[in-house]
Structure 1
């Protein structure tokens, strides 16, 4: 097992903070860095109870997982600063914009499955973090679609981390509570 180092964490955190500077968590006024640190917290918690993992790879990919997808930084810049393994992980976690929406997740999951299990863990942690109360403008249909997509992630990647798989399953099972909120709103407005 390779323990993760504070220096690697700080380097990736500062890079991510600069890369995502000014971005907000969708539907909130929170800085995007909030999302990235929540994902890295989920990964860190799993690393604490699961042996045989490359903690530096997992933590760096967690903090950098949206850099290629959502900022002006590309694969080569991530590779130059963090190495090929991290850059490959971040690239696999990046959805391809040139694909139709219905193909993006399947493509991403297939590419993630070709990476070390530490990268799989990041995707599990990402969806755990995203299964917070949904934005108020989401419809029941959108929430159900998001829950189904979360189940696809679970089905494809749960073997990577028992701890994260259990957390994700719990979040998926509890996500239906938000459908009622939307249905009550529709009844009130209808």
Structure 2
């Protein structure tokens, strides 16, 4: 298996497309054996690319740091990537956003979920964008390809929790918030078997 290539120092200001490609390569390698929990078991990189696309669209492609952080947002939480490694490869601004969007696995699942709700209002704008996009992607996935062993009540509970997190992110990006609202309403309708 090939290893991701390290970017040249300080490329962010000069070659954001190169940094994006390197971040995609890094994330794809770090998450190589991971799949989504849904019945389709999609490659995890599909989620990362969707989150990055949503952030890129919300910022009209003008914030490469946020887009790169979106690609990397689960690397600290779900892979062997370290804070220092991400900082060295992608810079201080990117790693700060990734750290802000990373759950502390030392907490219980319930504590982590509550912490996301509590921390949302005080997150940086870039972290809020990534969180919003992450919730959109997760709701879309839950509606289209939910975990096979989740009863309807648990799926709906996930939607309500995501809505509570996003309540603290409101005022960040009207376009992305509208995309979330559509994913929320359409997804709930789909789960309940209602016509959208």
More deviation, 81-90/122-131: 81-90
Distance (Å, rounded) in 2 between the aligned partners of 1:41 and 1:64: 13
* Alignment-derived partner of residue 107 in structure 1: 115
> Which residue pairs with 2:172 in the alignment?
160
Measured on the aligned residues, the alpha-carbon RMSD in Å equals 2.2
Contact persistence 2:132–2:177 (CA under 8 A): yes
**What is aligned with 2:160?**
148
Contact 2:116 2:165 in 1 (8 A): no
Query: CA shift at 1:86, angstroms?
Result: 1.3
TM-score (norm 2): 0.81
Query: Runs in 1 of length 4+ with deviation above 3 angstroms?
Result: 108-115
Residue of structure 1 aligned with 2:97, choices 80, 89, 106 = 89
Q: For structure 1, which segment, 66-75 or 169-178, has the greater mean C-alpha deviation from structure 2 after superposition?
A: 169-178
57 and 105 in structure 1: CA distance in 2 versus 1, 3 angstrom threshold: farther
Q: Residues of 1 paired with 2:48 and 2:137: CA distance?
A: 9
Shift of 1:41: 0.9
Return the structure number with greater helix share. Answer: 1
Cα deviation 1:50-96 (Å, max 9, x = unaligned)? xxxx6122111110000001101121111111112211211111111
Q: Secondary structure at the match of 2:19?
A: helix
- Decide which of 10, 34, 37 is 2:21's aligned counterpart: 10
Aligned length: 176
Whether contact under 8 Å (1:94, 1:108) holds in the other structure is no
Residue in 1 aligned with 2:30? 19
TM-score by length of 1: 0.83
Paired residues of 1:4 and 1:59 also in contact (CA < 8 A):
no
1:120 and 2:131 aligned: no
Matches within 5 A, 1:131-142: 131-132=139-140, 133=144, 134-142=146-154
Residue 114 of structure 1, CA deviation: 4.3
Give 1:153 shift. Answer: 2.0
Secondary structure, aligned partner of 1:176:
helix
Report the Cα offset of residue 146 of structure 1: 0.7
Q: Which runs of 5+ in 1 are unaligned?
A: 182-190
Does the C-alpha gap of structure 1 residues 42 and 13 become closer, same or farther in structure 2, counting only changes over 3 Å?
Answer: same
